[in-house]
């Protein structure tokens, strides 16, 4: 009975992880592209504000995980540096959704292992086995093919999406370098608790400078259509749920299971986005995406075998 309950709990967690991940992605796309709310920095700031508040409630009030305190000013500066890279990643990703279909952004996002390997080598001189590097060839080739066959290709959107993917990889490598000592390591929930408020501080002036009168425009829009308020609140809560469920799935499954689920999640997001937004797709584009996913699976296998 206990094993059965545990299985259902894990299935529920994975379902919540998939739903929140794909949900926030599709809602971002709807708001920034279809609804016409063209303020990706403000949208990211809403996400980070929700993550700040909900992280505090979950850790300090509800005690879902023990609170890990910061040890030094240096540790705070390291977390601030990570937060800056994290902001760049999320904002770039949201900007790309204004110009590109979700299916294509998922194909580009699947190249994260390539950028991770490059940054790990450049910043730590960490070399992987030759087999790992070979598996990165289909990862990159697939995106090149998908780009050539993408009917809705937009160069600026593609550059932003590539930047978001690179920044995401850079954050994971930096996190390993900056928070490597035992005294500085934080679990992802506590890291988010400290990163999110720093992100809000970074994004607030960026929003005011780069998205002129966004607060006034949002208030005016809310007077015409109150749904925008609910969209933003729900979207921001989902952004936190993505981080919470990711932490819980990581805790209750193995790293390998997480990799497999992550690869499948991208494919599920592609199918759902095409069904909802009905964006045109070409056979070439889909073959390119499948080649990239195959490359990521081979990469995961190669990494596992060379450990």
> How would residue 43 be classed by pLDDT, with cut points 50, 70 and 90?
very high
CB contact set of 138 (below 8 Å; sequence gap of 6+): 291, 292, 294, 295, 298
Could you report the per-residue pLDDT of 220-229, keeping only the tens digit for each? 999 999 999 9
Give the DSSP letter of residue 65: S
Question: Is the predicted pLDDT of residue 158 greater than 60, yes or no?
Answer: yes
- Confidence grade of residue 284 (pLDDT, cut at 50, 70, 90): very high
Task: Judge whether residue 3 has pLDDT over 80.
Answer: no
* pLDDT tens by residue, 164-218: 999 999 999 999 888 888 888 899 999 999 999 999 999 999 999 999 999 999 9
* Interatomic CA distance for residues 162 and 117, integer angstroms: 15
Please state, rounded to an integer, the average pLDDT across all residues of the chain.
91
107 CB-side CA count, 13 A: 31
pLDDT over 90 percentage in the chain = 68
Confidence class for position 256, pLDDT limits 50, 70, 90: low
DSSP assignment of 182-222, as one string? TTT---HHHHHHHHHHHHHHHHHHHHHHHSTTHHHHHHHHH
Nearest to 259 by CA among 110, 45, 85, 118: 110
Q: For the chain, what is the total number of helices (H) and then of strands (E)?
A: 12, 0
Q: Which residue has the higher pLDDT, 200 or 262?
A: 200
CB atoms within 10 A of CB 226: 10
Each residue of 103-142: pLDDT tens digit?
999 999 999 999 999 999 999 888 888 998 999 999 999 9
Give this prediction's pTM.
0.91
pLDDT at 90 over 70: yes
pLDDT band at 160 (very low <50, low <70, confident <90, very high): very high
Confidence of residue 254 (pLDDT cuts 50, 70, 90): low
Tallying the residues shown for the chain, one arrives at 307
Rounded-to-integer distance, Cα 70 and Cα 191, Å: 10
Tokens at residue 84, please?
A: 């800056």
Asked if residue 96 lies in contact with residue 157, where contact means CB atoms within 8 angstroms, the answer is yes
């Amino acid at each position: 009975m206990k094993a059965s309950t545990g299985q259902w709990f894990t299935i529920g967690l994975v379902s919540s992880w998939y739903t929140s991940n794909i949900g926030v992605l599709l809602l971002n796309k709807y708001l920034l592209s279809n609804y016409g709310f063209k303020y990706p920095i403000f949208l990211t700031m809403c996400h980070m504000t929700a993550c700040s508040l909900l992280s505090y409630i979950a850790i300090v009030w509800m005690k879902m995980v023990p609170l890990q305190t910061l040890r030094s000013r240096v540790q705070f500066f390291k977390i601030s540096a990570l937060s800056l890279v994290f902001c760049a990643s999320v904002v770039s990703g949201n900007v790309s959704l204004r110009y590109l279909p979700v299916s294509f952004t998922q194909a580009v996002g699947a190249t994260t292992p390539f950028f991770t390997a490059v940054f790990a080598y450049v910043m730590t001189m960490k070399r992987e086995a030759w087999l790992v590097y070979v598996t990165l060839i289909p990862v990159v080739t697939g995106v090149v093919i998908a780009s050539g066959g993408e009917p809705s290709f937009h160069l600026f959107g593609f550059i932003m999406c590539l930047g978001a993917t690179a920044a995401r990889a850079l954050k994971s490598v930096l996190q390993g370098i900056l928070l490597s000592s035992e005294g500085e390591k934080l679990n992802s929930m506590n890291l988010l608790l400290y990163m999110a408020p720093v992100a809000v501080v970074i994004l607030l002036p960026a929003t005011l400078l780069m998205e002129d009168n966004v607060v006034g425009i949002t208030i005016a829009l809310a007077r015409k259509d109150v749904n925008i308020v609910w969209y933003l609140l729900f979207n921001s809560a989902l952004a936190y749920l993505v981080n919470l469920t990711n932490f819980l799935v990581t805790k209750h499954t193995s790293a390998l299971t997480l990799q497999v689920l992550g690869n499948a999640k991208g494919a599920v997001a592609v199918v759902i986005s095409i069904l909802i937004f009905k964006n045109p797709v070409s056979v070439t584009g889909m073959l390119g995406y499948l080649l990239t996913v195959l490359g990521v699976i081979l990469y995961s296998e190669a990494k596992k075998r060379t450990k």
